[in-house]
Amino acid sequence: MSSALVEMGINMASPEVNQDPFTPLAAVREAAPAVWNPLIDQWMVAGFDDIRALLADEVHFKSGSKFFDDIFGARVFIADDDPRHNETRAVWNPSFRRPTIQGQYREMVERTVDECLADVLAGLRAGETVELVSTFSAVIPAVVISEMLGISSEDTELFVKWSNEMGLIAESFVEPSAQRRDELMAVGMEAQRSMTAYAGEELERRRQEERGDDLIGMMALAPVADERSEAELRAGIANLVMGGHETTGKLIGHMFIVFDQHRDQLEAIREDPELIPQAVEELIRYAGVIGAIVREARVDHDIGGVPVKQGQFVLNLPTPANRDPRRWDDPDTFDIFRERKQHVGFGYGTHSCIGQNLARFEAQTVLARLLTEIPDYRITDESFDYGTNWFLRGPKEIHVKL
Ligand code: HEM
């Protein structure tokens, strides 16, 4: 049975919605299994079960190819179909398994967190107010993924800049104003050219040196690389950089805000650090980092009875899905003790996040240090500016002091 069309013109690119996406997107979730957004001519899906079913359905929906093709300038595995997707992903998969992250990369992650924290601590202990995003939360994952890729630490800043600017292409995807869309695209495309040119040089260097001991080298020397275009290989590196730092940086930022607002739970973890992994999991459910998991209808189909046409885009919205009252009791409450259930913060199905074990481990390491080193931190200004980056949402600045 097909359902009536429900339309909601939500401007996802507006600072207001990015400031508080929970209220308007909960309304989408409650309205219908799929809601049409006439501002951007795309579907929005916000129910937990609907999203999971859609992400598992590769027959009728494919990864948002145009969305990612635009961002990265060539087909990357996040936008590719199996078996191509899986063949490319398999080159890096072993590096992102939990034992590898918590074994081979443990020391590097912990050292990176400690080095960044040392600077923050020096300022805090001198009585200063410290801005955490630029000095700490955004830096840690950028350094970590650079180390894994084998990029010189001097170039990390450059990579972060390009990657942030490439994020503007994602912003343009939901921007209703054509003029603003063009502006965002222009900056994003320039950054994309720089990033992929740099990635190309690094790939070539690994080939010449026959060095496969980092993520770039693994791809450069993998047999599957012969079946991929040079543009695809370069774009794949850019995908890892972007996926690897902005997401986790935003999550760590949210951590400081959410625990400042829930001091009792921070204290409970201090008394029992075994709670750290479940606290991080609850943070991912609650915080709302990823704006959308984009899919495109391969054929005419329906979402929970709502007819969808071939070629239409579907924004799967994990933020309201992870607060779906049909799945969680009291879903808008942050509760590290709640019954553990899988969320869709890392997606679902074949494209689910390759970096999730890394993201978890980085966040867990930060939380452990936060508890031992600065449990009494205080946020000094609670008027956070979330900007317009709806795709990867987090405050631009977080000011803390002891
Ligand atoms: C809090 C941190 C993170 C969040 C919330 C997050 C979220 C997601 C989500 C929702 C997807 C699914 C996309 C889709 O189905 O279209 C995804 C995929 C992906 N993520 Fe993450 N991610 C995080 C950290 C990372 C890290 C650290 C990396 C590092 C390398 C990474 C790299 C990727 C890649 C390459 C994919 C594509 C996987 C595939 O298509 O098989 N992400 N991520």
Contact status, residue 113 vs residue 371, Cβ threshold 8 Å:
no
CA of 286 to the centre of ligand 1 (A): 17
Q: For the chain, give the mean pLDDT.
A: 94
Write the DSSP assignment of 166-189 as a string of letters: HHHHHHHHT---HHHHHHHHHHHH
**1, pLDDT greater than 80:** no
Q: Which of 16-20, 378-382, 388-392, 396-400 has the lowest mean pLDDT?
A: 388-392
- Which residue out of 96, 100, 216, 247 has the highest number of ligand 1 atoms within 8 Å of its CB and is therefore the one to mutate? 247
Q: Does the bond joining 94 to the residue before it have cis omega, within 30 degrees of 0?
A: no
pLDDT confidence of residue 70? 84
Among protein residues, the one with the nearest Cα to ligand 1's atom 35 is 240
How much is the pLDDT for 61? 97
Residue 253 CA to ligand 1 center (angstroms) comes to 17
The pLDDT value given to residue 393: 94
How high is the pLDDT of residue 279? Answer: 98
CA of 94 to the centre of ligand 1 (A): 15
User: Which ligand 1 atom lies nearest to the CA of residue 358?
Assistant: 27
For residue 24, how far is its CA from the centre of ligand 1 (angstroms)? 25
Q: Is 6 exposed, middle or buried (0-12, 13-18, 19+ CB in 10 A)?
A: middle
Relative to the CA of 80, which ligand 1 atom is closest?
A: 40
Q: How far is CA 234 from the centre of its chain?
A: 20
Distance 347 CA to ligand 1 centre (A): 8
Nearest C-alpha neighbor of 279 from the set 296, 295, 297, 264: 264
Q: What is the pLDDT of residues 5-31, one digit of tens each?
A: 999 999 988 999 999 999 999 999 999
φ, ψ for residue 273, nearest 5 deg: -60, -15
For ligand 1, atom 1, the nearest C-alpha belongs to 248
Fill in the amino acid letter for 287.
A
Question: Which residues of 53-165 form beta strands (DSSP E)?
Answer: 61-63, 130-131
Contact of 74 with 232, CB cutoff 8 Å: yes
Per residue in 105-151, pLDDT (tens digit) is 999 999 999 999 999 999 999 999 999 999 999 999 999 999 999 99
Q: pLDDT tens, 193-243?
A: 999 999 999 999 999 999 999 999 999 999 999 999 999 999 999 889 888
Which residues, 6 or more positions from 323, have their beta carbon under 8 angstroms from its beta carbon?
22, 26, 285, 286, 331, 332
Per-residue exposure over 203-237, b if at least 16 CB sit within 10 Å of its own CB, e if not: beebeeeeebebbbbbbbbbeebeebeeebbbbbb
pLDDT confidence of residue 87: 96
Q: Minimal CA–CA distance to 239: which of 367, 109, 75, 63?
A: 75
pLDDT of residue 100: 97
Residue range 265-302, pLDDT digits in tens: 999 999 999 999 999 999 999 999 999 999 999 999 99
Cβ atoms 395, 143 nearer than 8 A: no
Local confidence band at 389 (pLDDT 50, 70, 90 cut-offs): confident
CB 73 within 8 A of CB 192: yes
Phi, psi (deg, nearest 5) at residue 217: -65, -40
Structure-token pair, residue 360: 């978890």
- Over residues 54-75, the mean pLDDT reads 89
Give 2's pLDDT tier (boundaries 50, 70, 90).
Answer: low
For atom 3 of ligand 1, the residue with the nearest CA is 247
pLDDT recorded at residue 27: 98
Task: Considering only residues 377 and 68, tell me which one the structure prediction assigns the higher pLDDT.
Answer: 377
203 in Cβ contact with 220 (< 8 Å) = yes
Is the separation of the CB atoms in 170 and 391 below 8 Å?
Answer: yes
For the chain, the first-to-last Cα distance in angstroms comes to 59
Q: Edge to edge, what strands does the sheet with 378-379 contain?
A: 130-131, 399-401, 378-379
Cα(95)–Cα(269) distance, integer angstroms? 29
- The ligand 1 site (C-beta within 6 Å) comprises 63, 77-78, 89, 145, 239-240, 243-244, 247-248, 251, 289-290, 293, 345-347, 351-355, 358-359
Q: What mean pLDDT is predicted for residues 247-274?
A: 96
Which atom of ligand 1 sits closest to the CA of residue 144? 27
Helix (H, G, I), strand (E, B) or coil at 46: coil
Instruction: Name the range with the highest mean pLDDT among 57-61, 151-155, 382-386.
Output: 57-61
User: Where residue 357 falls among pLDDT bands split at 50, 70, 90?
Assistant: very high
